[in-house]
Structure 1
Amino acid sequence: MEQTGSDRLKSALLLLAVASLVIGLAFYLADEARIASLIWIAGVVPVLASLVIEILRSLSRGEVGLDIVAALSMTAALAFGETLAAAVVAVMYSGGTFLESFAEGRARREMHALLSRVPRTATRHRDDGLEDIPIDEILPGDRLLIRQGDVVPVDGTLASETGFVDTSALTGESLPVRLMRGAEAMSGATNAGEAFDLTALRPAKDSTYAGIVRLVAEAQASKAPMSRLADKWSLGFLAVTVSIAFAAWWFTGDPIRAVAVLVVATPCPLILAVPVALVAGLSRAAHFGVLIKGAGPLETMARIHTLILDKTGTLTDGRPKIVSIACYGDTSEQEILRMAAALDQASKHPVAQAVVAAAKAEGLRLPVPSEVVELPGEGVVGRVEGRPVIVGGDGFVAALVGRVSGDASSMAAGSVLVAVAIDGQMAGHLVMSDPLRDGAGAMLNGLRREGVRRILLATGDRADVAKRVTEGLGLDGVRAGLTPDQKVLLVLSERKRGPVMMVGDGVNDAPALSAADVGVAMGARGAAASAEAADVVLLVDRIDPLGPGIEIARAARRIAVESVVVGIGLSVMGMIAAAYGYLSPVQGALLQEVIDVAVILNALRALRISPSDALRV
């Protein structure tokens, strides 16, 4: 992604300030002090002008930042002929703003690569053929072809006999849903079965997906701005600086002492140490698969009080797995799985693929099936090793071979039953569910040790399913059957207790991610809308990097605070020395450079943050 205009301006100002300082020093050493002074002024004025504009914008928003001290020091140095000191301050200030811009730009580039996979076109039937068109050109009544794996681009009704769609990104329901002709399919769902036709009901701008995007925008607009760590110190430090500078001038009558105080006071420990520590924290977090979109979210992430988790794709894997096998007759569990998986090799249905994967994980040899006939949305019929086998939905298989006493057709809510018939008899049921991710419980316990006080579940799934899946996790609350706007209300209500982090992966989570103080999206398989709305994206398809991410954020912020405290302490000592006349403005600038190097080296310790093993599950 290209740099924004603001990024280019900050880069140009830093280059100009550094170049003018170096070239001016060369002329100064060649006994051309007047030319050197003019060159330093030429480098300082653009930086100062940009700084004044930024200060005016901040004041119009009611914000008072540390930029005022830097502006005062540069202005005073220029006014009293201390151009070298002004040039040094200009380099220090422009370097700090460049570092912040660099961190944000890196995050934007990562997100551009992450979101570039979002589909922008649809396939429409036209004049006995097919054409690819932009989604915005879809009109009500258009007949669209939705291929396997395609995202439904607009709300519509099924024009084919049957269709299987994955609605987990919209509703939180982790298992595919079967639709019949005439049923409505929501935009944002994914075709999990064979290709089907869809008749568009409304334009893309009026679809379910677009409505959720509008919710995201509204939530972002209502979200309180993140305050920078450095700005919290600004008013006090500004008052101390102005007081010492004024006192030095008042009692000595020498304005140069006030200039020296201002130069030493230029808050470079804040301007430089904070962004260095936080950029290092961003880099370290990315090493563990946690993309944090800037220093602001990282600072807030370090102060999280409440964690709200979606279920599907976050606490659970989002893929169905076999949890038990019910057997009828003499056929063993292993044989039922082997025969079912052998036949399911011929199907692309996600449940069939999960059965095949389970059999391969058991090390079972799967023979090639023959005479295979797949009935979309129903099941598969064929022969395995010459024996007739039927695998499919419970009702479909029972209608062909009948039921047996004590079968598993009334299993617990939230489970999916795959019936298996062998030799014309019901042989058993594969009971499938969306289980809890491995290590989720240990990770949540680690987060509590890191200071997260409340952990809640918020899901669009049914209450019985949510409670069964999360049993034993020790959550502080389970909120089930929630719509996107209800998730937003939950986030807003919890924010009254303290900063809230929301973790989700579906389109339905995007508004809540935007409303939270820190929104975290599952970026590997999650919906693009949630990744775009979030402040943090987990770049792997697991929730466990969240623990190390929070620990890194806390450690990076702690290192930043340490650097600020030490740097300000040294600066205050230097200001007092300058007030008593022991430091000239140039000497004060050089001293400030030494302080800068010290605090930056300390801030770089954030690159070596190593999360504890307790949070790496």
Structure 2
Amino acid sequence: MRTEALPPRLREAALLAAVLLLVAGGGVTWWLGAAQAAERVWAAAAVLTLVPTLVWVAADLRARRWGADLLAVLALVATVAVGEFLAGAIVATMVATGRVLEAGARRQASRNLTALLERAPRVAHVRTAAGPESVPVDSVRAGQLIVVLPGEVVPVDGVVPHGGVFDESALTGEPLPVTRQANDTVRSGVLNAGAAVDVRASATAAASAYAGVVRLAEQAAARSARVARIADRAAIWFLPIALLIAALAWLLTGQAERAVAVLVTATPCPLLLAVPIAVTAGMSRASKAGVVVKDGATLEALGRAAVLLVDKTGTVTAGRPEITDLVCAPGHDAAEVLGQAAAVEQFSPHVLAAAVVRAASSADVVPAGAEDVTEEVGSGVQGVVEGRRVRVGRRPAGAELPAWARGAARRGRLDLASVLWVECDGEPVAALLAKDPIRPDAARTMRRLRAAGLGDIRLLTGDRVDNAREVASMLGLDDVHGEATPEEKLRAVEAARARGVTVMTGDGVNDAPALAAADVGVALGSRGATAAAQAADAVILDDRLARLADAAEIARRSHRIAVQSAVAGTALSIVAMLAAAGGFLAPVLGALVQEAIDVAVIVNALRALRAPRLGAPAPAGVLRRFETEHERLLPARTAVRQAADSLAGGATTAADRAVRTAARLVTEELLPHEYAEESELYPALADALGGPESTFPMSREHAEIARLARRLNRHLGEAPDGIQPDQVDDLRATLYGLDAVLTLHFAQEEEAYFTLPSA
């Protein structure tokens, strides 16, 4: 069988197998008394290894670099030249073993942008006199009218004559659907998030925006330089030292054997073996942690990284909008309104409709039955619910709003949230505020990344600047670049690389060029074989951002162990070289001493396989239970804010009813939840957090929540027949204070506790 036809990893494995057979065969032959035959077999092992090693060194020299392999070549040539064939066979074994280990660590993955190309539409539906006709997308010309079906990717840049709703997150990072009005432009690569829409092509597929993203990623991948191996960096200074000692030994003593002994002991086996083992161990650990690192050079670079550029939408945020608040008109119940909204929204494919349905489900609100449901693209959904016409969507521009609704609209602007209006029989009854929430584990992850050595962390997103700044400030990031195009992201990565080894993290098509250009591109790939995952050097498999910190910590530790092994091994090798130069070590004995050094550094390198003790894991069942309860308590928390708002009009009957509803929900739902956390959750977390004192600040917040709840009930006890005017100010302060403490307390628990590693 011709080895040239084998893949590189199989060729290297075949070389190692052949060398081991020759070394063993030579040993058996020597044991049988045929010493000369044994030497010829060992010489064959050295020559067999020398040939491919010369090829590897020649390739390095053509690229104007030299590495650890050059010393191996010199040692092999020297042992064969002076007849130290056993020593040469031992060196050959070490070289072949190191090459196999490094090939296993490398697992090279191509940046062929397969997913980018797979996502690109191949067919377009062109309108003709006979109806839509499917044609190859490359045949579409400017001016033609095409139809984009629901869920399809827009194939070419164009204009939407009648408007439409599009999911542009893949290109811009904007998490919410974007409504394009009549005659607005739309770019290729975005997803039709509404009904079928007409697009009049303004460019061919090759000249459209999506094709430009593909070209950028290809160019960035081509420019991305190979990260030097630790072994090669160490060899830059180790090689001249070894050659100098060998030359001096020969010149001062006139004995070539001493020079050969020096070269044999100088064979950089700690570099050829220990470093790949530490890197391979780190890659194995990362894989177990849910991060696939595509090659050893990536792990080395991640272990030295200093700069992190992180995408926003879908990376540090959830990537989909959630209902974060609900503001009801006076006299309306939050759960009832949420059920009515979900009743009509459950029939809509809109991403905000899905958020409404999820909010109702989390709050244990069962949607009522809906009839005659219709949807107007870019406007909203309406239907008949229990005899009333319910509509959920945008308010027409210029429509008059009552006072409570103007306040709700202002809250939406202040919170940078989208507002969905719920109307019953034409009258607004509630406002639903939707945002793309920050991942609960994002803040903890950023702190861990800083502790792992990434001191410069910046947000790089295509989303709006105000949203980006809000997220960056909440996470304590160093800088923010909003509304960034793929080209601007690429330039930002190239600028960051001048400041240090740079990591880029993202999950969208628009991130692919930046991921390819970074020293280390890390993609969140749980949604499938995305373009980001294909362009990246590492992929987080389960969509948990905390895995990025896991990978950085593992890489840092593996890099540290690899460097320790390299430094200790080369230091011991220098001592052995000096002993060989002084005539205390013959070539064969020098090779055996080198083997002993190898064993020591390999044992040290294997420490990278062990996970450091980080404390006991948190109980998963308990965490999930209380995390689910947080979701279900949204109506109760909303009722507190709603009651405080209702007192703006004074001690009215509607305000009295809202306050009493809030007090009932706090007493019957919120307080039992807090008491259960105190008695069940916090004791269960004591081991994971290092002791009961760690939860004391949260217990103090529990006490404050209970105090404000008692104060609220005492107020109502003072007014059995209705709230009195002189109670209004203090009641509002109590309710707003309770709302603020609950908001902070829930956020702290979700970030600090519900993101803990669980058993």
1:547 match = 549
2:715 match = none
1:151 match = 153
Which whole-Å CA distance do the structure 2 matches of 1:290 and 1:80 have between them? 49
Assess, with a 3 A threshold, how the Cα gap between structure 1 residues 409 and 542 changes in structure 2: closer, same or farther: same
Deviation at 1:138, TM superposition (A): 5.7
Instruction: Read off the aligned partner of 1:585 and give its amino acid letter.
Output: P
Contact 1:124 1:143 in 2 (8 A): no
Deviation at 1:18, TM superposition (A): 2.3
Determine whether 1:62 maps to 2:64. Answer: yes
Instruction: Read off the aligned partner of 1:291 and give its amino acid letter.
Output: V
1:116-143, CA deviations, whole angstroms, 9 ceiling, x for partnerless residues? 9944653444796888877666665676
SS in 1 for 2:325: strand
SS in 1 for 2:320: coil
Contact 1:121 1:132 in 2 (8 A): no
Stretches of structure 1 that go unaligned for 5 or more consecutive residues are none
1:290 match = 291
2:592 match = 590
Deviation at 1:442, TM superposition (A): 2.2
Deviation at 1:6, TM superposition (A): 3.2
Structural mapping, 1:462-477, within 5 Å: 462-477=464-479
Deviation at 1:561, TM superposition (A): 1.1
Assess, with a 3 A threshold, how the Cα gap between structure 1 residues 203 and 134 changes in structure 2: closer, same or farther: same
Assess, with a 3 A threshold, how the Cα gap between structure 1 residues 134 and 79 changes in structure 2: closer, same or farther: farther
Contact 1:269 1:568 in 2 (8 A): yes
SS in 1 for 2:375: strand
Which whole-Å CA distance do the structure 2 matches of 1:246 and 1:488 have between them? 49
Structural mapping, 1:417-456, within 5 Å: 417-456=419-458
Instruction: Read off the aligned partner of 1:431 and give its amino acid letter.
Output: L
Give the stretch that moved more between structures: 523-532 or 51-60: 523-532
Determine whether 1:99 maps to 2:101. Answer: yes
Give the stretch that moved more between structures: 88-97 or 500-509: 500-509
1:80-101, CA deviations, whole angstroms, 9 ceiling, x for partnerless residues? 2222222221221122122222
Assess, with a 3 A threshold, how the Cα gap between structure 1 residues 35 and 315 changes in structure 2: closer, same or farther: same
1:351 match = 352
Contact 1:118 1:528 in 2 (8 A): no
1:569 match = 571
Give the stretch that moved more between structures: 521-530 or 289-298: 521-530
Give the stretch that moved more between structures: 337-346 or 468-477: 468-477
Which whole-Å CA distance do the structure 2 matches of 1:71 and 1:129 have between them? 71
Assess, with a 3 A threshold, how the Cα gap between structure 1 residues 306 and 382 changes in structure 2: closer, same or farther: same
Which whole-Å CA distance do the structure 1 matches of 2:543 and 2:241 have between them? 50
Instruction: Read off the aligned partner of 1:479 and give its amino acid letter.
Output: H
SS in 1 for 2:433: strand
Contact 2:265 2:593 in 1 (8 A): yes
Length-normalised TM-score, structure 2: 0.74
Which whole-Å CA distance do the structure 1 matches of 2:56 and 2:157 have between them? 45
Contact 2:441 2:545 in 1 (8 A): no
1:187 match = 188
Give the stretch that moved more between structures: 572-581 or 562-571: 572-581
Contact 2:124 2:155 in 1 (8 A): no
Which whole-Å CA distance do the structure 2 matches of 1:362 and 1:563 have between them? 55
2:393 match = 392
Assess, with a 3 A threshold, how the Cα gap between structure 1 residues 29 and 197 changes in structure 2: closer, same or farther: farther
Deviation at 1:198, TM superposition (A): 4.4
Deviation at 1:69, TM superposition (A): 0.7
SS in 2 for 1:323: strand
1:141-196, CA deviations, whole angstroms, 9 ceiling, x for partnerless residues? 6766544443334334447x443221112112111112345543322222323344
Assess, with a 3 A threshold, how the Cα gap between structure 1 residues 391 and 67 changes in structure 2: closer, same or farther: same
2:706 match = none
Which whole-Å CA distance do the structure 1 matches of 2:448 and 2:181 have between them? 45
Which whole-Å CA distance do the structure 2 matches of 1:380 and 1:443 have between them? 39
Which whole-Å CA distance do the structure 2 matches of 1:405 and 1:47 have between them? 85
Structural mapping, 1:281-320, within 5 Å: 281-320=282-321
Contact 1:440 1:543 in 2 (8 A): yes
Determine whether 1:264 maps to 2:265. Answer: yes
Q: Select 2:581's aligned residue among 579, 582, 594.
A: 579
Contact 1:559 1:606 in 2 (8 A): yes
Q: Select 2:13's aligned residue among 2, 11, 14.
A: 11
Instruction: Read off the aligned partner of 2:587 and give its amino acid letter.
Output: P
Which whole-Å CA distance do the structure 2 matches of 1:575 and 1:134 have between them? 68
Assess, with a 3 A threshold, how the Cα gap between structure 1 residues 221 and 121 changes in structure 2: closer, same or farther: closer
Contact 1:230 1:271 in 2 (8 A): yes
1:405 match = 403
SS in 2 for 1:472: helix
Assess, with a 3 A threshold, how the Cα gap between structure 1 residues 14 and 415 changes in structure 2: closer, same or farther: same
Which whole-Å CA distance do the structure 1 matches of 2:484 and 2:35 have between them? 71
Q: How many residues align?
A: 609
1:335 match = 336
SS in 2 for 1:412: helix
Which whole-Å CA distance do the structure 2 matches of 1:194 and 1:7 have between them? 51
Contact 2:327 2:430 in 1 (8 A): yes
Give the stretch that moved more between structures: 411-420 or 313-322: 411-420
Contact 1:379 1:392 in 2 (8 A): yes
Give the stretch that moved more between structures: 308-317 or 567-576: 567-576
2:633 match = none
Instruction: Read off the aligned partner of 2:338 and give its amino acid letter.
Output: L
1:524 match = 526
2:669 match = none
Instruction: Read off the aligned partner of 2:170 and give its amino acid letter.
Output: A
1:71 match = 73
Determine whether 1:165 maps to 2:166. Answer: yes
Instruction: Read off the aligned partner of 1:11 and give its amino acid letter.
Output: A
Which whole-Å CA distance do the structure 2 matches of 1:39 and 1:207 have between them? 64
Give the stretch that moved more between structures: 298-307 or 267-276: 298-307
Assess, with a 3 A threshold, how the Cα gap between structure 1 residues 31 and 385 changes in structure 2: closer, same or farther: farther
Which whole-Å CA distance do the structure 2 matches of 1:390 and 1:339 have between them? 9
Which whole-Å CA distance do the structure 2 matches of 1:59 and 1:263 have between them? 22
1:459 match = 461
Which whole-Å CA distance do the structure 2 matches of 1:612 and 1:135 have between them? 54
Instruction: Read off the aligned partner of 1:418 and give its amino acid letter.
Output: L
Give the stretch that moved more between structures: 526-535 or 469-478: 526-535
Which whole-Å CA distance do the structure 2 matches of 1:157 and 1:84 have between them? 76
Deviation at 1:222, TM superposition (A): 4.2
Assess, with a 3 A threshold, how the Cα gap between structure 1 residues 103 and 339 changes in structure 2: closer, same or farther: same
Which whole-Å CA distance do the structure 2 matches of 1:165 and 1:251 have between them? 79
Which whole-Å CA distance do the structure 1 matches of 2:21 and 2:241 have between them? 32
Deviation at 1:281, TM superposition (A): 0.8
1:89 match = 91
SS in 2 for 1:482: coil
Give the stretch that moved more between structures: 570-579 or 268-277: 570-579
1:321 match = 322
Determine whether 1:254 maps to 2:255. Answer: yes
Instruction: Read off the aligned partner of 2:122 and give its amino acid letter.
Output: A
Which whole-Å CA distance do the structure 1 matches of 2:484 and 2:121 have between them? 30
Determine whether 1:243 maps to 2:244. Answer: yes
Identity of aligned residues (%): 42
Assess, with a 3 A threshold, how the Cα gap between structure 1 residues 97 and 47 changes in structure 2: closer, same or farther: same
Deviation at 1:200, TM superposition (A): 4.6
2:630 match = none
SS in 2 for 1:470: helix
Structural mapping, 1:101-140, within 5 Å: 101-105=103-107, 108=109, 115=115, 118-119=118-119, 121-125=121-125
Give the stretch that moved more between structures: 588-597 or 425-434: 588-597
Give the stretch that moved more between structures: 567-576 or 318-327: 567-576
Which whole-Å CA distance do the structure 2 matches of 1:430 and 1:91 have between them? 69
Deviation at 1:114, TM superposition (A): 9.9
2:366 match = 365
SS in 1 for 2:9: helix
1:233 match = 234
Instruction: Read off the aligned partner of 1:358 and give its amino acid letter.
Output: A
Assess, with a 3 A threshold, how the Cα gap between structure 1 residues 207 and 120 changes in structure 2: closer, same or farther: closer
Give the stretch that moved more between structures: 58-67 or 484-493: 484-493
Greater helix percent: which structure? 2
1:432-484, CA deviations, whole angstroms, 9 ceiling, x for partnerless residues? 01121113222212222223222222222222222233333322222222222
SS in 2 for 1:352: helix
SS in 2 for 1:97: helix
Deviation at 1:37, TM superposition (A): 3.6
Taking CA–CA contacts closer than 8 Å with sequence separation of 6 or more, which of the two structures ends up with the larger relative contact order? 1
Which whole-Å CA distance do the structure 2 matches of 1:155 and 1:610 have between them? 52
Assess, with a 3 A threshold, how the Cα gap between structure 1 residues 276 and 122 changes in structure 2: closer, same or farther: same
Q: Select 1:26's aligned residue among 25, 28, 36.
A: 28
Contact 1:460 1:482 in 2 (8 A): yes
Stretches of structure 2 that go unaligned for 5 or more consecutive residues are 616-688, 690-751
1:608 match = 610
